[in-house]
Amino acid sequence: MKGTNIYPIFDKTVQRSERETLLRQKGCVVWFTGLSGSGKSTLAIALERALLEKGYLCQLLDGDNIRSGINNNLGFSEEDRKENIRRIAEVAKLFVQCGVITLTAFISPTNEIRALATKIIGRENFVEVFVDTPLDICELRDVKGLYKKARAGEIKEFTGISSPFEAPVDPDLTLDTSRLSVEESVELLMNTILPKIKIKS
């Protein structure tokens, strides 16, 4: 029909800056990486609570809500691990574009995998946190018995035992939860993250 346009020029997508102004925060991804049992999820949950108490909106992504949902068709082969991280990074990117502070807690064992996540999300939006807890401490915390099964050969390609973990080359923050309490770790996290998420007046 003449004069009809289903794509009117005034109908533009809401911009990220508008969403951030509404939320009064800047979106970013805090990417926790480290061995199973290192304390990634514990710190992410504690950080989420601390940020919420200061009025910041966050979304936590971890194995519980990713492997059971969007990535439930993936295994633990090298190819599937890479695809797992790629999907997580794409989801995190969407949250960032909405101005949401996104906390991810995944082993993400190689520099290649983490570089892929960084590229997708954008380095300017990416805070890499290496939870550098010694393997022996992680094994002592093995509440699910995963390390025991890996040592017995019942779990193949288990990071830290039969599959390597590559330490990040230049993380934004390194935390050893065998030396730091949750409270001390959260304080260091807040000092690192708050300058990145505050909207300047």
In the predicted structure, residue 3 carries a pLDDT above the cut 60: no
d(CA 13, CA 7): 11
Catalytic residue among 108, 162, 163, 185: 108
> Is 108 designated active site?
yes
Give residue for tokens 């992504």. Answer: 61
Better-predicted residue by pLDDT, 58 or 149: 58
In the predicted structure, residue 200 carries a pLDDT above the cut 70: yes
Q: At what angle do helices 111-121 and 78-97 cross, to 10 degrees?
A: 30
pLDDT tens-digit map of 13-47: 889 999 999 999 999 999 999 999 999 999 999 99
pLDDT tens-digit map of 75-110: 677 788 888 899 999 999 999 999 999 999 999 999
**In this predicted structure, what is the pLDDT of residue 145?**
87
Listed residue (188, 184, 177) closest to 134, CA to CA = 177
* Position 201 confidence tier, pLDDT thresholds 50, 70, 90: low
The type of residue at 133 is T
**How is residue 151 written in tokens?**
């040592």
In the predicted structure, residue 115 carries a pLDDT above the cut 60: yes
Could you tell me the CA-to-CA distances from 97 to 13, 23, 92, 131, 166 in Å, in that order? 12, 12, 9, 26, 29
**In this predicted structure, what is the pLDDT of residue 64?**
67
pLDDT tens-digit map of 119-167: 999 999 999 999 999 999 999 998 788 888 889 888 888 888 988 899 9
Write down the pTM of the prediction. Answer: 0.89
pLDDT tens-digit map of 176-197: 999 999 999 999 999 999 999 9
